[in-house]
Amino acid sequence: MSYRPDGPPLGGLPTMAGCGVLPISSPRRLSMMQGKPLQEPLGPPMRPLAIPRPGRSPARLTVPTPLPTFPGSGRPAPESARRKTLIRGVAGAALVVTAGYLLWRTTSTLDLGIWWIAVPLLMVEIHNGFGLLLFTLALWDVDAGPPWRPVTKTSQRVAVLIPTYNEPEDVLLPAVAAAIAIELPHETWVLDDGRRDWVRALATELGARYLSRPTNEHAKAGNLNHALETIEADLVAIFDADHVASPRFLRQTLCYFDDPEIAVVQTPQDFYNLDSFEHEVNGPGEQLFHEEAVFYRVIAPAKNAWRAAFWCGTGAVVRVAALRDAGGVATDTVTEDIHTTIRMNERGWRAVYHNEVLARGLAPGDAIEYMAQRHRWALGAMQVLRIEHPFRRSHLTPGQWLSFGTTLLAWFDSWRTLAFMVLPVAVLASGASPISAPGHLYGPLFLLTFGMQFLALRLLARGYYPPMLSLVFEVLRMPAVLPATLQALLPPRAAFRVTRKGRAGDERSRFPVPRLHVVLAAMSAAGLVWFAATAAGLSPMRYEQPPAAAGAAMFAALNLWLLTTAMRRIRSARFARERRAGVRLGVQLAGGVDGGPCEVVDLSSTGARALVATPAAPMLGAAVELTIDLGKDMFAVRTHVRRRLERDGAVELGLEFATGQRAAVARAALVLLNGAAALEPPGGPRARPGTTDPPERPLTVAA
C-alpha cells in the first residue's frame, strides 16, 4: 500500500530525444521466443527505411540511443550551504512576518459581533501559519541520512515478496519478472490471495515461488504475516503487484542494514503510467507534475533528520527480526505500513529513507481509483491516531513524535480547504466584514504575509510544488478525505479496499462529480452574482466595507475556477476512456513483421503499434511474428493484427501479443519499463562518471 500523507500548507510532457539512425537487418527464424539474443548476423544490412508518418513528412526509421529510461530517478546531489542558507533564511523570515501578522489580527482586527465569520477566518489563518512552521521544521534538512554505498555481495538471506489479490496478468507479469531479475542472491515469492491457477503457473514458468492461504483475513497485512510463517529470510523486499523493480534495487539498499538498529529501508514511489489521473503538465516547457512527488522526493527524505522515516508499503526492504519483534505487520488499520513502523520505533528500531527511484508502479488511472485510494489513506491515518495515540507514546523521540503527528494530522487540511471555499461566500452573502481594520493597513500587511508564505513554500518544496496545480488536487481529494477524517470520532474498522490496477474491462463510464464540488461551485457562483448585483445597486443590501467585499469576491472567483477545473478533470474523456491493460509507452525501435522491416512506435506488456512502409502489410486478424531490435538484444513474439490503418502511404498495425509466451512478453516488459538497465549484465555500468543519475533521455508517452 502506498501512502502519501502530508504536503505543504495551502497557500509539456517530455519528448523523445537523442535518437540515432540505425540500419535494419532482415529478421530470420531464430529462437527468440524466450528473449534470447542473436548469436550471428541476420544478413546484409538494409538502408535506413523512410516511413511516411500520417500527417507528417517522411521520417527516417530511428532507434533511441540509449533505450528509454525515466528521467529524474537518481539520488539528488546534496544542497549547497548557500542554497540551504537561502531556503532557511526565507522560511525564517516568512515565519516572523506570519507571527507578527497573526498577533495583529488576533489583538486588533477581530470583530466578535460577527464571530461566526471572524473567528473561523482567523482560525484558518492560524492553521496556515502553524502549517508553515511544521513544514519548515520538517524540511530543514533534506540531505540527512546515514552513510550509503552500493553493495556487491551480501551474507543476508533475502526474499522478495509480491502480495497480489486481483491484478490481471499484464500487470503482475512484469512485476514478477523484474523481481526475479534483481541482482544479488534472493528468492522471489508471489503471495496470491486470489488463489488463481494461472498465477501459480506464471510464477513457476518465470522461476518464482508461489504461496497462497485458504482465507483472506486482514488483506495485505495478513498475506504478509502468513508468508513470514513460511519463508526463511533475514530481510524481505516488498513490492505491490504493479511495481516493477530495478535490477539494482538490493545493491542500492542493503548497505543500511549493516546498522543493527535499521528495520526498514524505504525508497520513493514513482510511476510509469505518466498519463494517470495524478500526472499533469505544469505549463508549456515545464516538468511533468506528479501529485505525490513533493512527498516522496522532498518530505520523506527530510524525515531522516528526525529519525522518523517510515515504511510506505512498497519499494522497501524490511528486517524480519524487527517485524517479529513488533508483533508482525499491523492488522488493525488499513495503513499497515506507517502503523507497523510506529510499533517498531517504540521498540528501538528505526527506518531510513533512500532517495533514489528503484521501482515504478501504476498510479490511479481515473477519478474512481484516485478517490478510493485517498479515502483509504486518510481513513488509515485516523485509525492509527485512535489506536496508537502517537502524541502519548513515551518511547518516541520528540522528533518522531512531531513527525508522525504531523503526518497523521495533515489529512485534516481538507477542512481548511473547505473553510476557504465557504468563508468568501459567507462574506458576500451577509455583507459583513470579518476584519475590523482599514483597507490601507490590512491590504499591504496581508499581501506581504501571503507573498512571504508563498515564496517560502516554493523554496521549501524544492520546486515540487506548483501552486495552482497543487491547489486543484487539494480540491479534488476533499470529498474523499473529509468523510474519512470523521472516522477519528468513531471506532476503527479496518476494511481494506484494493485500488484497481490495469484493465478496467470495456467500461467507459465517467466518475460522477461529487455533490460537494457541485454545491460549493454553485455557492461561489451565486455569491459572485450577488456581489455584482449589490455593487451595481440592484440588491437591497449594502457592503459595510466595499474593499473587503471585493477581496472576498476575488477569493470566490479563484475558488470557482479551482472547483470547475477539478470537475472538468473528473469528467474528462481522457480519464473516462477504456483503460488499456498495464501501460503503453512511446518508443522508436527498428523491427520486423514476418520478415518485412517496420518501426515499432509504442510498446506495452500486451502488444505494440508498428508502422510498415508498404500496403502489402498483413491483413486484419492475421497471425504474425514481430521482431524488435533493442540494440544490445533482439527477440521476437507472436502477435495478432487487431488494427490496420492505411493513410498517407503508410500502414499502421495494432498488434496484440499471442498467449503462451510469458517469458518473451516478460522480457519485452522489462526492457520497456527498466530501459537499458534490463539489458546490462550484473555489475555493468549504471551511471555517467560524476553523476548520481543513470544515463537517460526524456520519455515520450504514447497518445
Q: What is the pLDDT of residues 68-91, one digit of tens each?
A: 556 667 888 899 999 999 999 999
Mean pLDDT calculated for residue range 160-185: 95
pLDDT above 60 (res 681): no
Q: Which residue has the higher pLDDT, 62 or 134?
A: 134
pLDDT of residue 381: 93
Judged by average pLDDT, the poorest of 207-216, 272-281, 317-326 is 272-281
pLDDT of residue 670: 83
The gap between the terminal CA atoms of the chain, to the nearest Å, is 29
pLDDT tens digits along 319-356: 999 999 999 999 999 999 999 999 999 999 999 999 99
pLDDT above 90 (res 501): no
C-beta separation of 235 from 157 below 8 A: yes
Mean pLDDT calculated for residue range 135-163: 95
Q: Which residue has the higher pLDDT, 1 or 618?
A: 618
C-beta separation of 247 from 183 below 8 A: yes
Mean pLDDT calculated for residue range 220-230: 97
Mean pLDDT calculated for residue range 305-314: 95
pLDDT above 60 (res 683): no
pLDDT above 80 (res 93): yes
Q: Which residue has the higher pLDDT, 23 or 142?
A: 142
Query: For residue 48, what pLDDT band results from cuts at 50, 70 and 90?
Result: very low
Q: Which three cell numbers stand for residue 27?
A: 529478421
Residue 700 CB neighbour total at 10 angstroms: 20
pLDDT above 80 (res 213): yes
Tell me the average pLDDT of the chain: 83
pLDDT of residue 34: 31
pLDDT above 70 (res 13): no
Query: Which 8-state DSSP code applies to residue 390?
Result: G
pTM of the model: 0.84
Nearest to 219 by CA among 339, 331, 67, 103: 331
pLDDT of residue 212: 97
Share of the chain above pLDDT 90, in %: 61
Q: Which residue has the higher pLDDT, 661 or 15?
A: 661
Judged by average pLDDT, the poorest of 34-48, 224-238, 551-565, 661-675 is 34-48
pLDDT of residue 294: 93
C-beta separation of 585 from 68 below 8 A: yes
CATH code of the domain occupying 23-60+583-678: 2.40.10.220
Angstrom distances, CA of residue 608 to CA of 33, 60, 489, 621: 16, 19, 51, 15
pLDDT tens digits along 542-553: 998 898 899 999
pLDDT tens digits along 531-583: 999 999 999 999 988 988 999 999 999 999 999 999 999 998 888 654 445 67
Mean pLDDT calculated for residue range 122-139: 95
pLDDT of residue 589: 86
| Alpha-carbon span 527 to 515, nearest angstrom | 18
pLDDT of residue 147: 93
C-beta separation of 611 from 598 below 8 A: yes
Handedness of CA 517, 486, 128, 549 (dihedral sign): positive
SS3 34: coil
Q: Which three cell numbers stand for residue 43?
A: 544478413
Query: For residue 604, what pLDDT band results from cuts at 50, 70 and 90?
Result: confident
pLDDT above 50 (res 268): yes
Which residues are CB-neighbours of 343 under 8 A, at least 6 positions away?
A: 326, 327, 330, 388
pLDDT above 50 (res 693): no
Quote the distance between the C-alpha of residue 305 and its chain's center: 23
Quote the distance between the C-alpha of residue 634 and its chain's center: 32
Q: Which residue has the higher pLDDT, 654 or 67?
A: 654
| Alpha-carbon span 117 to 430, nearest angstrom | 10
pLDDT of residue 371: 95
Q: Which three cell numbers stand for residue 110?
A: 477581530
Computed over its alpha carbons, how large is the radius of gyration of the chain?
A: 28
Mean pLDDT calculated for residue range 121-145: 95
Nearest to 407 by CA among 386, 438, 381: 381
pLDDT of residue 319: 98
Which residues are CB-neighbours of 643 under 8 A, at least 6 positions away?
A: 620, 652, 653, 654
pLDDT tens digits along 645-679: 987 778 999 999 998 899 888 888 887 777 655 55
Mean pLDDT calculated for residue range 233-250: 97
pLDDT of residue 499: 58
Q: Which residue has the higher pLDDT, 26 or 546?
A: 546
Q: Which residue do the cell numbers 521476437 mark?
A: 636
pLDDT tens digits along 390-418: 666 668 888 898 899 889 999 999 999 99
pLDDT of residue 565: 96
Angstrom distances, CA of residue 31 to CA of 26, 37, 170, 592, 631: 15, 9, 23, 15, 17
Query: For residue 8, what pLDDT band results from cuts at 50, 70 and 90?
Result: low
